[in-house]
Amino acid sequence: MSDRPIDTSPAIAKAAKGITQTQALITGELSHADRFEQGIVQFLADQMSNATAWRVDAAFGVFGSLPLVGVTFDDAFVLVDSTNGTVDGPFDLDSPLDATVLLESHPSYNAGSTVRFRLMWGCEGTMTAIWNPNPPDPTFVPIPPPATAPPGTPPGRPSTWVCFTFPVPLRCVCSHDEWWWCPTPCPAVPGLPTVVRARIRCETAGACPATTPATGTPLPTPPWACSDTFWY
């Protein structure tokens, strides 16, 4: 997965002069977000990249809306704030949309508010869950491998590591998802799930290694700062 759109998106956002989305709906002209999406699409075409760009708006509160552009690569996707080019991700291809990090950089968004995503082709979805720093209960652990799994199979059914180099400051971010559960008997936690998705996110200074670690294997040296978050 190329990191070049990450380098370029702030400059594209700065150059994408246009009116607001509300004004665009009235006048039919291109909005800033429309021009930003065009800039990302043109950049990907110039690079002969097979990545695809798509528009999505993160609506919150009564009138709040943050226009975003998603960029899907072969193995992951990222979300880009069209107002300033800030990028969040990478996310696994089957991950639910989550723009919390991007939204929290805007003072008009109240942390924890419900977010409704509107894709350009009209689909809608509500983000009813959020990423939490702790599992629903301290007893949660990675789901053990099935009895038929080969010896040494890691718990949690981990997804493939996805690594991305961010240029300023130069750092490598790698992440993968796991499944955690509450073994029987599970403490009574009304309204909370007994199986949750966990995201393991690790960061280190410098560019990412040339070879992405295999699924279920530790990240190579140098030391990494890692954190777990849980979606529920």
Grouped pLDDT means (10 residues each) for the chain, 232 residues? 53 59 52 76 70 82 81 82 84 82 82 76 55 86 85 85 82 86 74 78 88 84 88 76
- Structural domains in the chain (count): 2
Residues 80 and 118 in one domain: yes
Question: Is there a domain that residue 135 lies in?
Answer: no
Q: For position 7, what pLDDT does the model report?
A: 56
Residues 218 and 169 in one domain: yes
Question: Is there a domain that residue 134 lies in?
Answer: no
Q: For position 48, what pLDDT does the model report?
A: 62
Question: Is there a domain that residue 136 lies in?
Answer: no
Residues 10 and 124 in one domain: yes
Q: Are 86 and 75 in contact (CB under 8 A)?
A: no
Q: What's the whole-model pTM score?
A: 0.51
**Domain boundary at 65, 98, 128, which?**
128
**Domain boundary at 66, 95, 128, which?**
128
Question: Is there a domain that residue 99 lies in?
Answer: yes
Which phi-psi region, left, alpha or beta, contains residue 164 (left: φ > 0; alpha: ψ -120 to 50)? Answer: beta
**Domain boundary at 74, 98, 128, which?**
128
Residues 222 and 184 in one domain: yes
Q: For position 37, what pLDDT does the model report?
A: 79
The parent domain of residue 28 ranges over 4-128
CA 59 to chain centroid, in Å, comes to 17
